[in-house]
Structure 1
Amino acid sequence: MGQPNSLNTGFRAKRMGMLLERFPDLAHMEVVDLGGTVRTWTRSPVRPAHVHLINPEPPVKGVADDVLPDWVTMEIGDACDLPAHLRERRFDLVFSNSVMEHVGGHERRARFADSVHMLSDRHWVQVPYLYFPVEPHWVFPLFQFLPLPAQTAIAARWPLSAWGKRPRSRAEALPLVMEVELMSRTQMRHYFPGSDLIAERFAGLTKSLIACRAS
């Protein structure tokens, strides 16, 4: 399981470099991160002036994300249904990394995109690409195109996954499998029609898509 995690760390570091190319003033920005972690920013080569994290659940006790630096604020909330006090706030940048594919169906994805547009004129929203041949959560070739029973059977037995450990049974695997809905270019252009759509590549193939609006 260490190899996929190491690859993901490398991808995230490269992606942060791409972010800095588009937003060179990041160190002076107030960023709202929808669904992210403290670790993303404490490991970033550039620290924003302030980061406001919005997550539906608190961080797991005993891990690095449990300790908040004084330049990070964490709030329990749903990015698809923002708390009332945030609907009137504006940030310099909305950031989201590998979150939108987890929110659950078109209606909630549309509401997530509405939140992005509401919070700032500038955004950076990354999602894994539907047609990359290896599904990134289960690290299994063409997993996303298999029937649900086959996905569930594989998930309960396959030793590699981004979840950190293999589900113990098909019953435990099923909700994890159903939670993930990878996205295409057509979908991202629908949710972010005025944004640049950046292709993040691996071995010449598009691995993820980033909707970016820098101005």
Structure 2
Amino acid sequence: MGPSIINRVVDMGALTRLLSGYETDGFSFGKAARKRRIQLFCDLITKTFQEKGFVRILDIGGTVQYWRIVDEAFLEANKVQITLLNLPGSQAFEAQGRFSFMTGDATKDIWSELNADDFDLIHSNSVIEHVGDWAQMKRYAANIKDFPGGYFVQTPNFWFPVEPHCMTPIFHWLPKATRVWLVRHFSLGHWPKASSTDEAVETVESARLLNHAMFVALFDDASIRKEKITFLTKSFMAIRG
């Protein structure tokens, strides 16, 4: 069955939006899950506001769009200011309202460039699986653990049967060569069909999912929570605060 036939049978774009879309004017399972998940971080916000009277968040790899899942009245009541830290070369934007934008690589020594005292909390949602190999993940986690305040880090579970980026069942359990072939020949979830084998390999290597033991090893100073769908663990959250 070729890509065109698949697309006629199933509107893959509509399916991806339903499963994981951020659209504010429509329902998606992913958006609903993120709203439930963010409540754990909102507890840290409330606690910090009660202690300080304001909350300054460093969101590593974050976007303004993501924060639309949080009630604006809650952010306003807790005097929340959010700094979005993304890689150099990322699309920047003018500071607006509670948001500001900075560039930096969180797998390097970010505290030589940023002042940790300028922030109260760190937030990181579905980022660590994209930073590179295990050595880069350890540096990323070490930077977060070196921060003196509270933090919230989330990542998808390797053993959940649907790969969260290409929205394809058991994709991430397949041999790498098979995954590269699929990405080279099909548009899958958030991943468009690759135009070359080189691009397909880069796409496949752009996400390295973690299991529970690996996540615990990275964030051994935090409480690890599991996000469940029925009896399956969809993602892990490391919370320190």
Please give the TM-score of this superposition, normalised by the length of structure 2: 0.78
1:10 Cα deviation after fit: 2.3
1:88 Cα deviation after fit: 4.8
Q: Aligned match of 2:46 in 24, 27, 31?
A: 24
The aligned counterpart of 1:80 is 107
SS in 2 for 1:197: strand
The aligned counterpart of 1:7 is 19
After TM superposition, the structure 1 = structure 2 runs for residues 66-215 of structure 1, keeping only pairs within 5 Å, are 66=93, 68-81=95-108, 82=110, 84-86=112-114, 88-89=116-117, 91-163=119-191, 165-214=192-241
1:23 Cα deviation after fit: 4.0
* Structure 2 unaligned spans of 5+: 1-12, 21-30
1:166-207 superposed Cα distances (whole Å, 9 cap, x missing partner):
323333211010121100111111111121111111232101
The aligned counterpart of 1:53 is 84
* Structure 1 unaligned spans of 5+: none
SS in 2 for 1:89: helix
Q: Provide the rounded CA distance (Å) in 2 between the counterparts of 1:31 and 1:56.
A: 17
Q: Provide the rounded CA distance (Å) in 2 between the counterparts of 1:22 and 1:31.
A: 11
Percent identity, please.
27
Q: Provide the rounded CA distance (Å) in 2 between the counterparts of 1:135 and 1:125.
A: 19
**Is this contact kept in 2: 1:199–1:209, CA < 8 A?**
yes
1:66-91 superposed Cα distances (whole Å, 9 cap, x missing partner):
45423212111101111623155352
**Is this contact kept in 1: 2:157–2:235, CA < 8 A?**
yes
The aligned counterpart of 1:33 is 59
Give the count of matched residue pairs.
Answer: 209
Instruction: Determine which structure has the larger helix proportion and give its number.
Output: 2
Greater C-alpha Rg: 2
SS in 2 for 1:179: coil
SS in 2 for 1:132: coil
Q: CA RMSD in A?
A: 2.2
Q: Which has the higher contact order (CA 8 A, sep 6+)?
A: 1
